[in-house]
Amino acid sequence: MKAGGVLGLVWNIRDESVEWVSELRQIFDAYEGDAPRFHTQEWRKVFPAAGFSPLSETRFLHGHTGAPEHVIIDRVLSTSFIAALPAAKRLSIAAQVRQLVASTPGLAGKSEVTMPYVTAAYSCQRLP
Protein backbone atom coordinates (compact mmCIF):
# COMPACT_ATOMS: atom_id res chain seq x y z
CA MET A 1 0.00 0.00 0.00
CA LYS A 2 1.43 3.36 -0.96
CA ALA A 3 1.81 6.27 1.44
CA GLY A 4 -1.50 8.07 1.99
CA GLY A 5 -3.52 4.93 1.23
CA VAL A 6 -6.21 3.96 3.71
CA LEU A 7 -6.79 0.56 5.27
CA GLY A 8 -10.44 0.00 6.13
CA LEU A 9 -11.99 -2.76 8.24
CA VAL A 10 -15.76 -3.13 8.56
CA TRP A 11 -17.92 -5.48 10.63
CA ASN A 12 -21.69 -5.73 10.85
CA ILE A 13 -22.40 -6.93 14.36
CA ARG A 14 -25.78 -8.10 15.57
CA ASP A 15 -27.08 -5.56 18.10
CA GLU A 16 -27.18 -7.62 21.27
CA SER A 17 -28.64 -4.76 23.28
CA VAL A 18 -31.92 -6.14 21.83
CA GLU A 19 -32.94 -9.04 24.11
CA TRP A 20 -33.97 -11.53 21.42
CA VAL A 21 -30.72 -10.93 19.51
CA SER A 22 -28.77 -11.75 22.67
CA GLU A 23 -30.83 -14.94 23.04
CA LEU A 24 -30.11 -15.77 19.40
CA ARG A 25 -26.39 -15.58 20.05
CA GLN A 26 -26.75 -18.09 22.87
CA ILE A 27 -28.17 -20.62 20.40
CA PHE A 28 -25.25 -20.65 18.00
CA ASP A 29 -22.19 -19.40 19.87
CA ALA A 30 -21.64 -22.86 21.32
CA TYR A 31 -20.56 -23.93 17.83
CA GLU A 32 -18.05 -21.16 17.02
CA GLY A 33 -14.99 -23.08 18.16
CA ASP A 34 -11.87 -21.21 17.09
CA ALA A 35 -13.53 -19.44 14.14
CA PRO A 36 -12.25 -15.86 13.82
CA ARG A 37 -14.89 -13.56 15.29
CA PHE A 38 -15.08 -9.80 15.81
CA HIS A 39 -16.13 -10.10 19.44
CA THR A 40 -12.90 -11.90 20.43
CA GLN A 41 -10.98 -8.73 19.50
CA GLU A 42 -8.04 -10.89 18.34
CA TRP A 43 -7.78 -8.75 15.20
CA ARG A 44 -6.76 -5.78 17.37
CA LYS A 45 -3.44 -7.43 18.25
CA VAL A 46 -1.86 -6.12 15.03
CA PHE A 47 -2.65 -2.50 15.98
CA PRO A 48 -1.00 -0.11 16.32
CA ALA A 49 0.71 -1.23 13.14
CA ALA A 50 4.14 0.02 12.12
CA GLY A 51 3.90 2.48 9.24
CA PHE A 52 0.22 3.30 9.86
CA SER A 53 -1.59 6.07 11.69
CA PRO A 54 -3.62 5.19 14.79
CA LEU A 55 -6.80 3.25 14.15
CA SER A 56 -9.97 5.35 14.11
CA GLU A 57 -13.43 3.94 14.76
CA THR A 58 -16.93 4.89 13.65
CA ARG A 59 -20.12 3.04 14.61
CA PHE A 60 -23.65 3.35 13.34
CA LEU A 61 -26.91 1.44 13.66
CA HIS A 62 -28.83 -0.13 10.82
CA GLY A 63 -31.13 -3.05 10.21
CA HIS A 64 -31.80 -5.81 7.71
CA THR A 65 -35.54 -5.98 7.09
CA GLY A 66 -37.39 -8.84 5.47
CA ALA A 67 -39.11 -12.14 6.13
CA PRO A 68 -37.97 -13.76 9.41
CA GLU A 69 -36.96 -16.90 7.52
CA HIS A 70 -34.52 -14.83 5.48
CA VAL A 71 -33.14 -12.17 7.83
CA ILE A 72 -32.93 -14.34 10.95
CA ILE A 73 -32.97 -18.05 10.19
CA ASP A 74 -31.08 -18.06 6.88
CA ARG A 75 -28.58 -15.60 8.33
CA VAL A 76 -27.83 -17.84 11.30
CA LEU A 77 -27.51 -20.89 9.06
CA SER A 78 -25.12 -19.05 6.72
CA THR A 79 -22.65 -18.29 9.53
CA SER A 80 -19.50 -20.15 8.48
CA PHE A 81 -19.17 -22.42 11.49
CA ILE A 82 -22.90 -23.27 11.42
CA ALA A 83 -22.90 -23.93 7.67
CA ALA A 84 -20.02 -26.39 8.18
CA LEU A 85 -21.99 -28.53 10.64
CA PRO A 86 -23.67 -31.79 9.65
CA ALA A 87 -27.16 -31.35 8.17
CA ALA A 88 -28.93 -32.83 11.20
CA LYS A 89 -27.27 -30.32 13.54
CA ARG A 90 -28.13 -27.41 11.22
CA LEU A 91 -31.77 -28.56 11.21
CA SER A 92 -31.73 -28.65 15.01
CA ILE A 93 -30.31 -25.11 15.18
CA ALA A 94 -32.89 -23.90 12.65
CA ALA A 95 -35.65 -25.38 14.83
CA GLN A 96 -34.27 -23.58 17.90
CA VAL A 97 -34.15 -20.27 16.01
CA ARG A 98 -37.70 -20.77 14.69
CA GLN A 99 -38.85 -21.43 18.26
CA LEU A 100 -37.18 -18.20 19.40
CA VAL A 101 -38.93 -16.28 16.62
CA ALA A 102 -42.29 -17.90 17.46
CA SER A 103 -41.95 -17.12 21.18
CA THR A 104 -40.77 -13.51 20.86
CA PRO A 105 -43.69 -11.04 20.90
CA GLY A 106 -42.07 -8.57 18.48
CA LEU A 107 -41.33 -11.34 15.97
CA ALA A 108 -44.06 -13.97 16.32
CA GLY A 109 -46.43 -14.11 13.39
CA LYS A 110 -44.76 -11.20 11.59
CA SER A 111 -44.20 -11.41 7.83
CA GLU A 112 -41.48 -8.77 8.07
CA VAL A 113 -38.95 -8.16 10.84
CA THR A 114 -35.73 -6.24 11.24
CA MET A 115 -32.48 -7.76 12.42
CA PRO A 116 -30.71 -4.88 14.20
CA TYR A 117 -27.02 -4.38 13.55
CA VAL A 118 -24.22 -2.09 14.65
CA THR A 119 -21.67 -1.43 11.94
CA ALA A 120 -18.17 -0.94 13.29
CA ALA A 121 -15.86 0.71 10.75
CA TYR A 122 -12.16 1.17 11.40
CA SER A 123 -9.52 2.91 9.34
CA CYS A 124 -5.90 3.96 9.43
CA GLN A 125 -3.68 5.66 6.90
CA ARG A 126 -0.37 4.45 5.50
CA LEU A 127 2.33 6.84 6.63
CA PRO A 128 5.09 8.12 4.31
The total of structural domains in the chain comes to 1
Q: Is residue 1 part of a domain?
A: no
Q: Is the pLDDT of residue 23 over 90?
A: yes
Q: Is residue 102 part of a domain?
A: yes
Quick one: pLDDT at residue 40?
A: 77
Q: Is residue 12 part of a domain?
A: yes
Its domain, for residue 17, covers 6-125
Q: Is residue 39 part of a domain?
A: yes
Q: Is the pLDDT of residue 7 over 80?
A: yes
Quick one: pLDDT at residue 35?
A: 67
Query: Once rounded to an integer, what is the mean pLDDT over residues 2-13?
Result: 93
Q: Is residue 50 part of a domain?
A: yes
Quick: pLDDT tens for 67-120. Answer: 999 999 999 999 989 999 999 999 999 999 999 999 999 999 999 999 999 999
Q: pTM for the full model? A: 0.81
Quick: pLDDT tens for 27-81. Answer: 988 888 776 677 778 888 889 999 999 999 999 999 999 999 999 999 999 998 9
SS3 breakdown of the chain: % helix, strand, coil, rounded to 5? 40, 25, 30
Buried b (16+ CB within 10 A) or exposed e, 10-44: eeeebebebebbeebeebbeeebeeeebeeeeeee
Quick one: pLDDT at residue 32?
A: 81
Quick one: pLDDT at residue 62?
A: 95
6-14: strand order across its sheet: 6-14, 113-125, 56-66
State the Cα–Cα distance between residues 47 and 23, nearest whole angstrom. 32
